[in-house]
A and B are shown apart, each in its own frame.
Chain A
């Protein structure tokens, strides 16, 4: 056995290139897998755990209290498929004001809230976790949800309701988390009466759990069962747990399909490389194998010795990859932890264990399969290697390439890959993988930057903000904040009077609720021609008149609406119907939003004054001078114009870009090393041939050309295979990423490869091949001819 160990160790030392390649392949595969695996776990873990702990509601149903009675709703708890139900709870949608008037800047208001009357946080469904304080047990008390977006979210704060009769006041007695996000606030059941506006009936909430609710289709079926079990028209809206989960998971959801794709590429690549390396070692080591066998090694021992030679570097590579994967995962996971309020920011240990075990297992298996040949090789044949005549394939290829009008060293090299088809196939696969990875990664980068552009929608030259400093990157205004009152006509007059103005629009936002949609929905209202605002319309078109609206995919999903459907917004107690005419790509917010003309809301509230104006100037206008002149008019109003600079890039996209770059570099590097390994084997085998050619006057540079030429054809074919494969992978992954994040990517986000890039990527295989062959070509050129000629 110690003899075996010695053979393994000397093999590892002798074959430095193969050892390095195996190690790096393992490193790469493990890094990608740890990252992918841990994020996959993270993206499911926190929500699912909390959801099952709280017996989360698969369906949160909102009923019109005017069309159904509590007893009928209780009975719906026995509808088909329902395993548990809570409710009915009375609900009311209210517009709270800050009770102390101290914590909000003047002119700002709190977002509307859905209040639910619940005597008890517990129950068979939606077992709410009280984080601070106590549950509301007497009138005048309220418990706020952690998801309620407000600066007064603390125990002891008070909320006023000046719009309601008797102008009630509530004191915050507790803060609670409902994973199902069933309400913004909870009060005692009796409190709902005082929160219901006169003339409205208010609503009921029912919470259901079902036997099957894992997919959107199942939830739809469950919803149909509930609809059937309740009076017609009573069901005002539903909220699926899948949407809630998706909203919470948005950021990690973007990563998951992408990392799976890279993880898969990484794993396949390392299997391929390890197989290649071991098969190559066996192929060139036949003589050594013969000697080992002649010395009394059993076939099993020979196989084991070759597996050992692969396993040692693979184990080292796996260890490095595990460390790197964990290090890379931590920043990404900490983002996730913030979303869930959890503190664990490490990779789940079982992910590490599974990936390490999987990697070593796979390497063992691959190495075993590749080394089997060594075990089977007959000793006589092994010892006779070198005397056996070559196959005719190499000769035919050499005869063909010799006819090409190329320098002889080049045409000699071109014939090389045909002499060893299996080895060439291995190299071809490595190159194709590398080219596919590069194509995929570059496409991902472009698609993500498309998404970033869509998110920024910064097509304007000049912006005027009528409140405070401009909001953070990617946001056109802090949600739930209304601007300081400024006469909008004064601003628009100034803009239109200014020479150089091409077009402009104003935006404002206000929060409304939509039946069945959790939390509040932000309505962005536009004044003027907003068709050029830069939102990417995925389907349908931009709105043209009041009453029309465009919404992001998340809104469509949450309300189960399609283009052409109408939706009802509840604003200041009034119902406003909008017709959805288009779907916009807008990944920037986790709350829902509606984009519409400012006049749409006039039935419910005075048209909101634009918080910001965006201006496009005529071509050739000096922007600095334009802004200076405009500001002479605006400064007396207390506002100013500035260049529109919203070029922020989100952390998620930055992280994705960085990951893409790292993983691609690793894949391409490993592909290059795969080529290197093969070319090293090849030149070692051809050492005599190269020596002869040198003795006949082949110069070092001719030698380099010959070796490079030997990989050119394979590189070109590898690129030709890798390019479409990468394109296909990209075309599958981008929509999948969008899908899991609840976004629809339009064709423009997928067809992101300009022709020049396609050509360059098509030649990427050649580049990988040439880079991989460069070093061995140099070695071959420097190799001493005398030594080479001796080898016979």
Chain B
């Protein structure tokens, strides 16, 4: 399993109408079980890369393959179905739906995918339990602390058992205690075999839970270092 490539970016560029390319001829392979931290200053193209992997955006050139799927060739519906099956996403600002309870938020990806209700509910309970937020199941996100919210977001991302977990600045909006909390969580997940690609400009996050650190500067890969996370 450790040897199967989960992500293959090959000669990927993303240009906008104005300005220099956000990503410029990037090639990157991520294998199953890896935990990759993408580091770089603001505006260097980190989120762009993550969006391309998630199928939320399309490259101007190059190919994106994830778990055998040519993501750059998918249409809108295809990429939605691809995300359901393959991707879990975590955002800096959690992006939880305020109108839905914690458990309904977590349930959402399964419902989109049409998972049987009973099975989905069992999975939600299991996840909330594993992430230590079971007592908040019926609460609304507005009541939770930042760290708790991000745990809900992680639970939601894991709901459909995606082969790949993507995180964009998962600790960016958290205080240091909550940040530590999320770091530990991601670390545990990776230890259990979850492939993770996280974007951050937080070096301590990369050091804490990445098995590999890719640095991007001006849309190009500047360094690619294998590390062993300080578990």
Contact = CB atoms under 8 A, between A and B. Distances in A.
Interface string B89-126: 10101011111110010001101111000000000000
Interface stretch (B4-12, B60-68, B74-82, B188-196): B74-82
Contact of A697 (B51, B57, B84, B97): B84
A697 B81 contact: yes
A692 B84 contact: no
Contacts of B165: none
Interface string A687-709: 01101111111111110000000
A696 B76 contact: no
A792 B112 contact: no
Given A390-B98, A419-B99, A785-B56, A700 B108 contact: no
Contact of B77 (A399, A409, A689, A700): A700
A395 B140 contact: yes
Contact of A389 (B54, B95, B98): B98
B91 A398 contact: no
B81 A693 contact: no
Contacts of A415: 99
B103 to A, nearest CB: 10
Contact of B108 (A395, A397, A693, A789): A693
Nearest to A694: B80
A391 to B, nearest CB: 10
B84 A696 contact: yes
B104 A786 contact: no
Interface string B22-53: 00000000000000000000000000000100
B156 interface: yes
Contact of B99 (A395, A407, A696, A701): A395
Contacts of B83: 695-697
Interface in A372-412: 389-390, 394-395, 397-399, 402, 407-409
B20 interface: no
A680 interface: no
B113 A398 contact: no
A697 B56 contact: no
B81 A786 contact: no
B142 interface: yes
A698 B80 contact: yes
Nearest to B138: A399
Given A389-B142, A419-B99, A699-B81, A402 B56 contact: no
A781 interface: yes
Contacts of A409: 112
- Most B-side CB within 10 Å, residue of A389, A390, A696, A698: A696
Contact of B97 (A389, A689, A789): A689
Given A697-B109, A697-B113, A698-B80, A692 B97 contact: yes
A415 B96 CA distance: 16
Contacts of A700: 76-77, 80
A789 B95 contact: yes
Contact of A701 (B77, B93, B100, B108): B77
Nearest to B114: A407
Nearest to A402: B104
Nearest to B112: A697
A394 B91 contact: no
A430 B96 CA distance: 33
Contacts of A394: 98-99
Contacts of B91: 789
Contacts of A408: 108, 111-112
Nearest to B97: A689
- Most A-side CB within 10 Å, residue of B101, B111, B114: B111
A691 B51 CA distance: 12
Contacts of B81: 697, 699
B216 to A, nearest CB: 17
Contacts of A402: 100, 104
Given A390-B99, A408-B111, A699 B93 contact: no
A404 B56 CA distance: 30
- Most B-side CB within 10 Å, residue of A408, A419, A697: A697
B144 to A, nearest CB: 12
A389 B83 CA distance: 29
Contacts of B56: 694-695, 785-786, 789
A698 B110 CA distance: 11
Given A695-B56, A696-B112, A688 B99 contact: no
Contacts of A781: 76
Contact of A699 (B54, B77, B101): B77
Nearest to A688: B95
A390 B85 CA distance: 32
B37 to A, nearest CB: 21
Contacts of B160: 697
A790 to B, nearest CB: 9
Contacts of A399: 101, 104
Contacts of A698: 80, 112
B78 to A, nearest CB: 9
Contacts of B98: 389-390, 394-395
- Most A-side CB within 10 Å, residue of B76, B80, B99, B140: B99
A786 B51 contact: yes
A416 to B, nearest CB: 9
A409 B97 CA distance: 13
A402 B142 CA distance: 19
A564 to B, nearest CB: 70
Interface in A660-699: 688-689, 691-699
B13 to A, nearest CB: 16
A693 B99 contact: no
Contacts of A688: 95
Contacts of B51: 786
Contacts of A390: 98-99, 142
Contact of A702 (B57, B96, B104, B112): B112
A452 B114 CA distance: 57
Nearest to B142: A389
Nearest to B51: A786
Given A389-B98, A395-B140, A785-B56, A696 B93 contact: no
Given A389-B98, A390-B98, A696 B54 contact: no
B94 to A, nearest CB: 9
A418 to B, nearest CB: 9
B95 A699 contact: no
A701 B80 CA distance: 10
B17 to A, nearest CB: 14
A450 B51 CA distance: 65
A782 B80 CA distance: 12
- Most A-side CB within 10 Å, residue of B83, B89, B91, B95: B95
A559 to B, nearest CB: 71
Nearest to B159: A696
A691 B57 CA distance: 13
A696 B51 CA distance: 13
A741 B224 CA distance: 90
Given A688-B95, A785-B56, A696 B89 contact: yes
B77 A696 contact: no
Interface in B134-170: 140, 142, 156, 160
A692 B99 contact: no
B186 to A, nearest CB: 19
A694 B80 CA distance: 7
A697 B56 CA distance: 10
A383 B160 CA distance: 38
Nearest to B160: A697
Q: Sort A-B residue pairs by CB-CB distance and give the 3 closest, nearest first.
A: A697-B84, A408-B111, A699-B80
12 contacts: A390-B98, A395-B100, A395-B101, A395-B140, A397-B99, A398-B104, A409-B112, A689-B97, A693-B97, A696-B108, A698-B80, A792-B93
Given A394-B99, A695-B56, A697-B113, 8 more contacts: A395-B99, A407-B114, A691-B95, A692-B96, A696-B109, A697-B83, A698-B80, A698-B112
